[in-house]
Structure 1
Amino acid sequence: MNHQPKPTTTPTSTTGLALTLPPAFEAFYLLHHPHYLTYAQAQLPPWLAHDAVRAAFGNLILNWTTLLTTINPAAHAWDHLSHEVRTRALATTTPGRAFEDDIRILTEIGFTSEATATMTGRDLSKIRYLTRTTTHPAP
């Protein structure tokens, strides 16, 4: 009888190997993925939105160790996602106003200031200010 050691990975349909992701990444993914996808789908067709979110998380896992050494990993992660969505969207963003456009979109699709602050990694006071100034411009 041939006793070969069992593989430490489980086969999957796409790669042939299953990966063990860092628990912190898995938690981050579970917390942010649904919101990231909602944001992307507000601007892109569903298949392209999924592609943008997949690319953003792919970039995040490839740079996870470095990302965790930054002062604000959630803000960097949001910036990756926002960039991925903008590169696929047909709409143009005013230079220097991409984040303000993000806040406007998040507000329009129903995210609260608190949820937006958590999702984007920005201070709640900044989000509240931008929500007031980007969604209710002065006359």
Structure 2
Amino acid sequence: MKGSRAAASVAVLSAAFRAFYDLHHASYLAYTAARLPADEVPVAVSHTFGLVAANWTTAVARPSPAAYAWNLHASYVAGRTGTRTSQKDDVALMHDDLHLPVDRIATLTGKETATVTALLSAAHR
């Protein structure tokens, strides 16, 4: 009984992680491609999703698993470029260059839509 309960928990976590991955993967690739050389893009994105998968229970215990994952990814990319961009620069890149709508950026980064709108407004000043 205990083993089947554990297997069911893993299946639920796996399904939840897979949904998270499916929702965010393409946008992570696009963002990373804008910041890193092409040969580093799949490595960086795989690294992030590997960390998130390995720490999935920690991620889902956070108020925003998306923010947790995004912060891991942004930090990794910054380490690879040697430059930490500001939140407003990242939002502007995603909106202006990658053509992501504000609500998609909010979902991706785990921020409130109003926060993304404010960051975008600040970036355009």
TM-score, length of structure 2 as denominator length: 0.84
Stretches (4+) displaced over 2 A? none
Taking the aligned partners of 2:118 and 2:39, their CA distance within structure 1 comes to 33
Deviation of residue 98 (structure 1)?
2.7
Q: Percent identity?
A: 35
Match 1:123 to one of 108, 112, 116: 112
Taking the aligned partners of 1:73 and 1:122, their CA distance within structure 2 comes to 11
Match 2:73 to one of 39, 60, 81: 81
SS of structure 2 residue aligned to 1:39: helix
Q: Deviations over 1:57-89 (max 9, x none)?
A: 011011001111111111111111111111112
Match 1:43 to one of 7, 13, 35: 35
Q: Deviations over 1:19-65 (max 9, x none)?
A: x7711001100110000000000111122111111110011011001
Taking the aligned partners of 2:47 and 2:76, their CA distance within structure 1 comes to 7
Instruction: Count matched residues.
Output: 113
Taking the aligned partners of 2:122 and 2:95, their CA distance within structure 1 comes to 12
Taking the aligned partners of 1:83 and 1:130, their CA distance within structure 2 comes to 19
Stretches of structure 1 lacking an aligned partner (at least 5 in a row): 1-19
Stretches of structure 2 lacking an aligned partner (at least 5 in a row): 1-10
SS of structure 2 residue aligned to 1:132: helix
Larger Rg: 1
